[in-house]
């Protein structure tokens, strides 16, 4: 049975691990994701950049029930359908087309479409999509660019991804329109290649602490609650279902 989609991708937590399998076999995604979950990062994006990625999503969905697995680098309606059939509970794309938005709506799975310009943000808001991926984050202007968008486009919320590491994640999470960041810094290639899952778990735990601390500091500075950062969880315009209520485990981070 396919798990329910999540109501909001941005509400999954402040740090979203981005898994690029490379030469890693689909079966090895299971212990990798188990290590991330053990470290406190339950939501995981597996990118569809390799031949076995959909199978990896399927295995993780079936064998790691505590994980909230999504599919990234979703470029076509066909990939959206395949990812959902494999058990993906959310979708992420580096960009968007109207066909892709429609396909995501049809699957009932929330899509986080990619943007890098104000015009793209406006076009998505016009289509009822308020949650977006900002990509490639560092190359497209980094925290300064997103800070500049906050005032004229207050309805948009972002998950920046691309060139983000432990030294820059907090700068993004300090922004009022950034509830989460995506990255792979907790998955160093040598650790994945040698199957050093203890190291992955350790780095995941550090990332979870970093994300939780950044959000707590921002909430304290603004005197508000986390709700203002994550939104209601119903504004993506591409999602459906109400079965994502189990994605939090002890706080907004995981």
Q: Which residues are catalytic?
A: 45, 133
Report yes or no: 162 and 169 within 8 Å, Cβ to Cβ: no
Q: What are phi and psi of 114, to 5 degrees?
A: -85, 145
**Distance separating alpha carbons of residues 50 and 79, to the nearest angstrom:** 12
**Distance separating alpha carbons of residues 155 and 73, to the nearest angstrom:** 24
- Tell me the two tokens of residue 151: 């005032």
Choose among 5, 31, 44: nearest CA to 254.
44
Spell out a b/e string for 221-247, using b for 16 or more CB atoms within 10 Å of the CB, else e.
eeeeeeeebbbebebbbbbbeeebeeb
**Distance separating alpha carbons of residues 187 and 18, to the nearest angstrom:** 8
**Distance separating alpha carbons of residues 180 and 160, to the nearest angstrom:** 7
Sign of CA dihedral 108, 77, 133, 123: negative
Report yes or no: 153 and 122 within 8 Å, Cβ to Cβ: yes
């Amino acid at each position: 049975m396919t798990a329910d989609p999540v109501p909001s991708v941005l509400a999954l937590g402040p740090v979203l691990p981005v898994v690029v399998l490379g030469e890693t076999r689909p079966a090895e995604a299971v212990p990798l994701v188990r290590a991330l979950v053990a470290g406190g990062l339950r939501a995981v994006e597996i990118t569809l950049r390799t031949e076995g990625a959909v199978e990896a999503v399927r295995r993780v969905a079936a064998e790691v029930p505590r994980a909230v697995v999504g599919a990234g680098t979703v470029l076509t309606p066909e990939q959206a359908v395949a990812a959902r059939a494999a058990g993906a509970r959310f979708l992420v794309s580096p960009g968007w087309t109207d066909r892709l938005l429609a396909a995501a709506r049809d699957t009932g799975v929330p899509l986080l479409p990619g943007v890098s310009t104000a015009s793209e943000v406006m076009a998505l808001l016009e289509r009822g999509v308020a949650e977006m991926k900002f990509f490639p984050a560092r190359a497209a202007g980094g925290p300064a660019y997103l800070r500049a968008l906050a005032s004229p486009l207050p309805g948009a919320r972002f998950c920046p991804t691309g060139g983000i590491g432990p030294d820059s994640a907090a700068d993004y999470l300090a922004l009022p329109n950034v509830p989460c960041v995506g990255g792979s810094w907790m998955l160093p290639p040598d650790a994945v290649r040698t199957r050093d899952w203890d190291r992955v778990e350790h780095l995941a735990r550090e990332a979870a602490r970093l994300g939780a601390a950044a959000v707590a500091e921002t909430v304290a500075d603004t005197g508000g609650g986390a709700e203002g950062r994550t939104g209601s969880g119903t504004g993506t315009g591409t999602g459906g279902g109400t079965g994502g209520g189990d994605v939090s485990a002890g706080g907004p981070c995981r």
